[in-house]
């Protein structure tokens, strides 16, 4: 993919102001009871209005007939024989097709079909609420409808970025501004709880119950990983990172750059919810290392991070920030970068959807950032709990998300 053209640089300083209280945001994230106790994930934000629902089930192996039935409901003035379609094939689990009439795709409906059994990983009701919440704050496309096994939404003009793009200052500035905008979506006075530890515990539970033991021959035992997770939770919970509304899955391909408008938008809200500020940023910084061929030499250098974080804090607070404030966030972010759930997700998604685990390969890369950031975290000897081995990285690739355009 060609490198996108440079984004226009605004002359005035850019900052965000918190929105007035929004009825969609008035919800507090209560920690889930332990999965073993049968608890449910905290509910998402309340819906502002009902989303159209159609009792149509789309065959994931033959999407077009079902997609065209949905288009007849959403665009009754379109003649079925004139509807153009485009399949997107990068996703491991979800299936995606675009339906449109004109070549410029200005009016284009995306039909996304969920992968089988992906409800093990994703709360679909929360996904819809997150979609609406982000749309209300100008951060998401229109959600047209849901159906039995998927949803339809607006095509967002632009190009999906790659690792080589998010390293460019002119683009990572836009990413920092957009993340700051999302992180200012507040909980109207409630005290939201982070979902990170519940999610990680749930993933490990699914690994135990769902994954064939033969697939994990090169991976440390789940019990060892759980010890490491407990150690990380103990240390990271002491950092007092603010809990904000997070995307939680900011892969490169989930960032859409519109060169005409000079901004970026984030897509795919399956994992969105309240979480640690530093986790959302650190999770994104891990993407600098690449996807299929991971090279932590590409993990952002200190100066790059400080520049990124300065853009972010200034936009989030709407005022000048001090070097001390940037440095504090820098340390928090790099510590939270140690926690990566996305390497586990492809294996779980592949298994849940019946996809060959060849698409979610097991490798031996540690789930750690590049050693250049270690002095700002803990001592190197502390990366593993006593008696354990480094966290293993499971599955690089698309992680079950679509590279949509």
Q: Is residue 206 located within the same domain as residue 64?
A: no
Q: Which helix (H) or strand (E) holds 315?
A: helix 302-317
According to DSSP, the β-strands at 108-113 and 84-88 are: unpaired
Q: Is residue 269 part of a domain?
A: yes
Sequence-distant (6+) residues with CB within 8 A of 389 are 220, 224
pLDDT for res 225: 81
Q: Answer yes or no: are the C-beta atoms of 345 and 121 closer than 8 Å.
A: yes
The answer to the question of residue 364 being in a domain is: yes
pLDDT in tens, the chain (405 residues): 444 555 444 444 444 444 444 444 433 333 333 333 344 555 445 545 689 999 999 999 999 999 999 999 999 999 999 999 999 877 667 899 999 999 999 999 999 999 888 888 889 999 999 999 999 999 999 999 999 999 999 999 999 999 999 999 999 999 999 999 999 998 766 778 999 998 888 888 877 776 656 555 666 777 888 888 899 999 999 999 999 999 999 999 999 999 999 999 999 999 999 999 999 999 999 999 987 788 889 999 999 999 999 999 999 999 999 999 999 999 999 999 988 755 555 555 555 555 443 343 333 333 444 444 444 444 333 333 333 333 222 223 333 333 332
Q: Is residue 13 part of a domain?
A: no
Q: What is the pLDDT of residue 375?
A: 40
CA-closest candidate to residue 168, choices 48, 300, 77:
300
**Spatial distance between the Cα atoms of 59 and 38, rounded to a whole number of angstroms:** 31
Ranges of beta strands (E only) in 293-397 are 362-366, 392-394
Nearest to 333 by CA among 304, 290, 297, 293: 304
The 8 Å CB, 24+ separation contacts for 96-103 are: 96/402, 96/404, 97/63, 97/64, 97/67, 98/155, 98/405, 99/67, 99/68, 99/71, 99/75, 100/155
Same domain membership, residue 200 and residue 141: no
* Nearest residue to 159 (alpha-carbon basis) of 44, 59, 255: 255
**pLDDT for res 221:** 76
Are 142 and 169 part of one and the same domain?
Answer: no
Q: Is 175 left (phi over 0), alpha (psi -120 to 50) or beta?
A: alpha
- CATH code assigned at 135: 3.30.200
pLDDT at 118: 85
User: 215 and 134, same structural domain?
Assistant: no
- 135-146: b (≥16 Cβ within 10 Å) or e: bbbebbbebbbb
Place of tokens 């992680």: 399
pLDDT at 117: 82
Contact 66, 99 (CB under 8 A): no
- Residue 386 CA, distance from chain mean position: 31
Residues of the domain holding 267:
159-394
CA distance 361 to 120: 20
Q: Which of 154, 178, 208 is the last residue of a domain?
A: 154
Contact of 151 with 74, CB cutoff 8 Å? no
Q: 129 with 219, same domain?
A: no
Q: Could you tell me if 45 and 25 are in contact, meaning their C-beta atoms sit under 8 angstroms apart? A: yes
Answer yes or no: is 10 within a domain: no
CB-CB contact of 74 with 107 (8 Å): no
Give the CATH number of the domain where residue 226 resides. Answer: 3.90.1200.10
237 and 336 assigned to the same domain = yes
Is 31 part of any domain? no
Based on the domain organization, do 109 and 215 belong to the same domain?
no
State whether 202 and 114 are in the same domain.
no
Pair (63, 140) in one structural domain: yes
Q: Is 266 helix (H, G, I), strand (E, B) or coil?
A: strand
Other C-beta atoms closer than 10 Å to the C-beta of 93 total 29
The domain boundary, picked from 100, 130, 154, lies at 154
By residue count, the chain amounts to 405
Cα 162 to Cα 104: distance, rounded to the nearest angstrom? 23
Final residue in a domain of this structure, among 154, 186, 206: 154
Q: Check whether residue 134 and residue 249 sit in a common domain.
A: no
Same domain for 168 and 63 = no
Q: Are residues 370 and 226 in the same domain?
A: yes
210 inside domain: yes
Could you give the number of structural domains in the chain?
2
What token pair was written down for 269? Answer: 């809200």
CA–CA separation, 58 vs 63, rounded Å? 6
Assess if residue 390 is contained within a domain. Answer: yes
- Residue 23 in any domain: the answer is no
Nearest to 219 by CA among 355, 359, 365, 341: 365
């Amino acid at each position: 993919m060609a490198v996108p053209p440079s984004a226009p640089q605004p002359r005035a300083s850019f900052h965000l102001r918190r929105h007035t209280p929004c009825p969609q945001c008035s919800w507090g994230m209560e920690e889930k009871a332990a999965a073993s106790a049968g608890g449910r994930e905290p509910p998402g934000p309340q819906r502002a209005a009902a989303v159209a629902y159609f009792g149509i089930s789309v065959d994931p192996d033959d999407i077009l007939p079902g997609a065209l039935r949905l288009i007849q409901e959403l665009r009754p003035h379109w003649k079925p024989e004139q509807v153009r379609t485009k399949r997107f094939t990068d996703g491991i689990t979800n299936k995606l097709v675009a339906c449109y009439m004109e070549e410029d795709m200005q009016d284009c409906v995306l039909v996304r079909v969920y992968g089988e059994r992906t409800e093990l990983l994703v709360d679909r009701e929360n996904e819809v609420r997150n979609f609406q919440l982000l749309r209300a704050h100008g951060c998401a496309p229109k959600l047209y409808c849901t159906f039995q096994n998927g949803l339809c939404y607006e095509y967002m003009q632009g190009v999906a970025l790659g690792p080589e793009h998010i390293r460019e200052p002119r683009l990572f500035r836009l990413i920092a501004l957009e993340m700051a905008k999302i992180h200012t979506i507040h909980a109207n006075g409630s005290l939201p709880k982070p979902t990170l530890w519940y999610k990680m515990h749930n993933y490990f539970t699914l690994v135990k119950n769902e994954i064939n033991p033969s697939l994990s021959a090169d991976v440390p035992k789940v019990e060892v990983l759980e010890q490491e997770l407990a150690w990380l939770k103990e240390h990271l919970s002491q950092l007092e990172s603010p809990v904000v509304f997070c995307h939680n899955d900011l892969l490169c391909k989930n960032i859409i750059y519109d060169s005409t408008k000079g901004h970026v938008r984030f897509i795919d809200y399956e994992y969105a919810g309240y979480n640690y500020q530093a986790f959302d940023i650190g999770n994104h910084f891990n993407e600098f290392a690449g996807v299929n061929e991971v090279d932590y030499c590409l993990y952002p250098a200190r100066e790059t991070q400080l520049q990124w974080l300065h853009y972010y804090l200034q936009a989030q607070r709407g005022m000048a920030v001090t070097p001390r404030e940037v440095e504090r966030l820098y340390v928090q972010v790099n510590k939270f970068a140690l926690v990566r759930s996305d390497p586990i997700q492809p294996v779980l998604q592949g298994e849940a959807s019946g996809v060959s685990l060849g698409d979610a390969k097991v490798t031996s890369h540690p789930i750690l950032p590049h050693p250049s950031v270690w002095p700002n975290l803990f001592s190197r000897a502390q990366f593993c709990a006593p008696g354990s081995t480094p966290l293993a990285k499971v599955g690089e690739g698309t992680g079950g998300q679509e590279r949509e355009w």
